[in-house]
Every structure is written in structure tokens, then in C-alpha cells.
Structure 1
């Protein structure tokens, strides 16, 4: 597998991004490292950490996933999906709010859960699982507020200026929600082996990851009806991430974490999205070849 990191770097370069990747065979422990210990901004990938913390608290009896929560439109965290985009009041269970957070990356849903769970509890969960490089600093509303503050009075138009991009706290792993690719595959491995939660709650976490609607990043590398991809994306200006698990019909299970940055602040960059799947496929193919599954 000595040439595999070079192939992954070449794919990143062709797509106009810099990237970090870790891939893990969940059962054998075989792994592939392309800058896997570099700190990265998690963006919405951190919703996975929140989801695991939510289910940890539910398993301990500290909350009921069926608890009903009022979701008034006033004060909702901004976003383009789910409750964040809705105009009317809603009443949902914690379980269904978690679905919106994971399936469509709803920021308002995530902050409703954070209000119930707390940032400290999220950090205790990641610490318990040995994710020493993973830390939640902001709610998602606060993270977006730092972007507005750092962009200044010109607002979103200022994000076309590389000097503005360079000063965004949300893009600095030292000052925002952060992790490493290796920490994220460790978390995914723990979820798939029922080490992060009880089996009942681990199954619930896996189900929600499998309901994500976005097919254009990690899943794009595995366009097969009999290969299942479950994941969580994360996006910020110049940032495109996804972490997830790829499951083959022969029982092979591979956790993959890909974090990328591009100098282009455009919201639509198909090549930058697709290379996440390309890099993941190269890594998983190499792991499968190493264990003799072709």
C-alpha cells in the first residue's frame, strides 16, 4: 500500500483541495494514514459526537428520547434545512430532532439537542472514548456567529476575500470545534462495535447515519446497490468533510474520515465534493486488497 497515499494526494491535488484522511478496517484494525493526526475543523461532522453523547445519556436514564420538545421559530439557529428553514412552530421528540440533525444536518435541531445535553457532556463522551484530539468549543449557532463577526459589515460577500477567510475562527482548529481523521474513525469503529453505546443505542446511531440524504461526497465513491454507506458531512467556507462507514456484502466494514480545504470559497465545487468519495474508495480498495477480499 506504499503508493496509495501518493494516489490519494494526487486525487486531492487534481480536485484543487488539500486533504487529510484516515481509513480503518473495523474488524482487523488495518489502517491507512494520510495526515490522519493533523487537527481539522469538524464543522457539522461534530454532530456525530453530539449524537453519541445523546444516546449515552439516554442509555444511562438521564433523558428520554421520546421527550417532546417545543420548537418555536423565534431564536432558531440559522440554516437551510430542517427546523432551521421552517417558519412555523413544531413539537418533536428528541429522537426525531436527532434524525433531522443527522439526515439533513439541521443546525437548529443540533442546538436544541445541545441545549438538552450540553457541550460539557459531549466533551466527556469523546474523552471517555479516548478521542484526545476532539473537542467541542461552540454550539452551532455560536460557530455561525463567529463567521458573521469575523466577516465584518460586508457580510457573506466578504467571504470571497482570502484575507477574510484567513481570519475566520471557525476555520482555525485551535479556536473551533475540532478533531483529527484518526479520532473520527476511532469513534465510528466504537459505534459499529457497540463500544460507544449499548447495542440498542449503537443500532439507533448507525440507523441515523444511514439516513443521511447527501450522496455527493463519500457515497459517490461507492455506487453499488449492495454496498452500504452511512456518514455525516460537514461544510464551512472552503471546508468539505465527511466521515462514515462503508459496508460490503462480504461483511467488510471500513471507517473512513476525509477532511478537505480548498482556496476557492465558492459554495458549489463538484470536484471538491466528489474527491472525498474518490479518496475514500482508493483507501478502502487498498484495505480490502490487503485482507485478500479484492
Structure 2
């Protein structure tokens, strides 16, 4: 569920061969096809409500994207006094949820505050940190949060440990190598949104809009949630489409066999802010597919450029930033 950034080989293109006058939806569809993925997208101007969608109401597997729902539920609990973010939680070496980052990869006993566990969960997609928080908040509370926010197609049914165990069980005795077998992939319950944590691209942008408008939490807690989204370390998906010093991208990735997702908000210096949700499934079972990662940024950029063009037509600016060192 955590995937390190993949480097683009020399010559890799991140934009499809389409005429700039082609409708943005067609350009996005062409970009997905060229990258060898099926994709679903929703992008919305948080302030004007202008939007672009590509099968935005399709039910999709969220994987680690669902950690954003957990983060909001955590801060709502803190708002109402059901917990303090500075409360400490113990993390023994035994029984940690699998994963290559954060507490999941550490070997010694650890003791962290809930807010530091939330940082690890969002910045490096630490699965153990997420399950520590779920143990305090509970799946029911996560679902109560999304329901109150009107996310009718978003539902959590299992912990992140249960998600990974389900993949391991379905892969059988072949281990991780078996996930390259199309027959094994076909039986993975984790790839069926009806059987795991799920949402839609439109629900996810609705959640992001609520966070950025301080409707999901009080301004104090909303700012804390936005800060953590801005600390995510992975630059290879959504952020790759916006390589500018003065454009800020805050997001959360999600990964599973053949699945690469990211949801986030892109903010421009002219105060334009755009919520984007991109979910993809690759035709290839390969774990390393740079083009499949990069197309998330490409599709998001096409959508945001179109929304900014609409904003410019209404009197807003649609300028670019300078080159980034990211």
C-alpha cells in the first residue's frame, strides 16, 4: 500500500499525443491509454465549483487514500474532546502491520503521540501508524465522518492489516511473485471495491473541498489536516504534473497490485485551488511502471489547466510558476 517513487527513464513522455484543442476529457482518456492504464478522475475548482470528470462516480478501491478519511475522523474526535492529539500510544515490535515505511519497517519498541502517528500515516503512508490510529478511532467513526460529510459512496470495511492479509491469502503460496500472474490478480478480493475500502473520485474531491473550506473540521484542525497532506514525500504522481516553485501540491497516494491512486489539492499563487482525484488500474502487473505513476500528474495537469482556462475566461489569471527543484 506504500510505493516508493519510480524514476522516469530517459525519453519517457508524460503528455499524450493530442492536439491542444481536443476536449480535456478526451486528452485525459488518451493519456491514460498511452500509459497503459484505465483511469477515473474528478477535478473541481474549490471556489467556483467548475469541474471536469471522467467516470467520476465509479466505485474504486481507495487503498491508502482512505487514510485521509481516518485523518479527518481523528481530528473530529480531537475537536469534541474524545481524545487529545498529544496522547501517547505504544507500538511494540510484534504484530505491526506490514509495510516498507515508518513504524512498519522499524524493529524496536516505539512510543509516539497520536499526531505524530498521523504524520507518519500521511507523509510516508505508514500502515502501522494508520492501524494504531484506527484502534483509537474505530472504523465506525470513520464511516460516521464520511456519512456526515455527504460522501454516500465512501465506506471503510477493514483495517489496513486486514487489507494486506487479504492480498496475501489470495496470492497463495506463491508469495509476492504470484502477483505477476494474471490468474492470481483476477481472484484478488482487494481489487474489488465491493469487498474492501472504497469511494469514488467525486466523493474524494468533495472531501478535499470540505477540508480546504474548513467544513470538515474547525479552522484549527482543518489547518492541521492540510499541513499533513502537504508533507507527503512522494513526488512521482500528482505533484509530477506541477513542477513549479510557486504551485503547492498536497495529497495522499494509495497503491495495491495494478492500482495507483492519488487525491490532493493544487494551489496556485493567484489563490486558485483545485481538488483532484485520480484512480488508475494498469494492464501490466509489474510493480514498477513509471508511466503509470506519471500519468496521474499528467491527467491532473490537463484537468487543472482546463479549469484555470475557465477561470481566466471569468476574469481570473492562469499563469504558470517557475521551474521547481522538486
What TM-score comes out, normalization by structure 1 length?
0.99
Match of 1:22 in 2: 42
Match of 2:76 among 43, 51, 56: 56
Q: Partners of 2:273 and 2:156 in 1: how far apart?
A: 27
Cα distance in 1 for partners of 2:22, 2:28 equals: 11
Which residue in 1 is equivalent to 2:3? none
Q: Please report how far the alpha carbon of residue 106 of structure 1 lies from its aligned counterpart in structure 2 after TM superposition.
A: 0.2
1:272 partnered with 2:298: no
Within a 5 Å distance, the mapping from 1:248-263 to structure 2 comes to: 248-263=268-283
1:161 is matched with which residue: 157, 160, 181?
181
State the Cα deviation string for residues 152-205 of structure 1 (Å, max 9, x = none).
111112111111111111100010100000000000000000000010000000
29-38 or 2-11, larger mean C-alpha shift: 2-11
Change (3 A) 1:187 1:2: farther
After superposition, where does 1:1-294 map in structure 2 within 5 Å? 3-292=23-312, 293-294=317-318
Determine the C-alpha separation between the residues in 2 that align with 1:92 and 1:224.
34
Q: Aligned residues, how many?
A: 294
Matched position secondary structure for 2:276: strand
Distance 1:19 1:97 in 2: 31
Report the secondary structure of 1:153's partner residue: helix
Q: Distance in 2 between matches of 1:166 and 1:15?
A: 21
1:74-127 residue CA offsets vs partner (Å, 9 max, x unmatched): 011000000000000111000000000000000000000000000000000000
Structure 1 CA distance for aligned equivalents of residues 36 and 286 of structure 2: 12
Shift of 1:2: 7.4
The list of structure 1 runs, each at least 4 consecutive aligned residues, that deviate by more than 6 angstroms after superposition, is: none
Secondary structure at the aligned position of 2:72 is classed as helix
How many angstroms apart in 1 are the aligned matches of 2:201 and 2:211? 15
Q: Which runs of 5+ in 2 are unaligned?
A: 1-20, 319-326
Q: CA deviation at 1:267?
A: 1.3
Q: 1: distance between equivalents of 2:79 and 2:186? A: 42
CA RMSD of aligned residues (A): 0.9
The residue aligned with 2:14 is none
SS at match of 1:216: coil
Aligned-partner Cα distance in 2 for 1:185–1:218: 14
TM-score by length of 2: 0.89
* Partner Cα separation in structure 2 for residue 267 and residue 101 of structure 1: 22
Q: Which runs of 5+ in 1 are unaligned?
A: none
- Output one character per residue of 1:25-66: Cα deviation in whole Å (capped at 9) or x when no partner: 000011101110000000100000000000000001000000
